[in-house]
Amino acid sequence: MIARVHDRGHHLQGLLWYLYSPGRRAEHDNPRLVAGWRYPARLEPPVSEDGQRDFRRLIALMRVPLILLGDQAPTEYVWHCSIRAAPGDPVSSNRVGRQGVEP
């Protein structure tokens, strides 16, 4: 696996919008959450009738820890790290859960 941190900052909405867009070179194929504190599919931003994603709920949920930290919250709490498998690595599944059962 190859990982690279691209950016650090505080623009959560902008990063989510970019990651769910086609990307600069159409590299964002089938964007989706693959990890989270809940089953990732339940955290996915819903798609409206016009085809746009609504990030408000996900952004609000992701900001809860910052609100709880108050003045101790970091100013740069968002970072973008892309990962990719090496060419010879097997295709990875997004299915998670204990003993093969989705939560």
Residue 99 counted as domain residue: no
- Number of domains present in the structure of the chain: 1
Of the pLDDT bands very low, low, confident and very high (cuts 50, 70, 90), residue 42 is confident
Average pLDDT, the chain: 80
Residue 9 counted as domain residue: yes
How many Cα atoms sit within 13 Å of 38 on the Cβ side? 7
pLDDT at 102: 47
Residue 97 counted as domain residue: no
97 Cβ contact list (under 8 Å, min separation 6): 39, 103
The parent domain of residue 10 ranges over 2-84
pLDDT at 68: 95
Residue 92 counted as domain residue: no
Residue 94 counted as domain residue: no
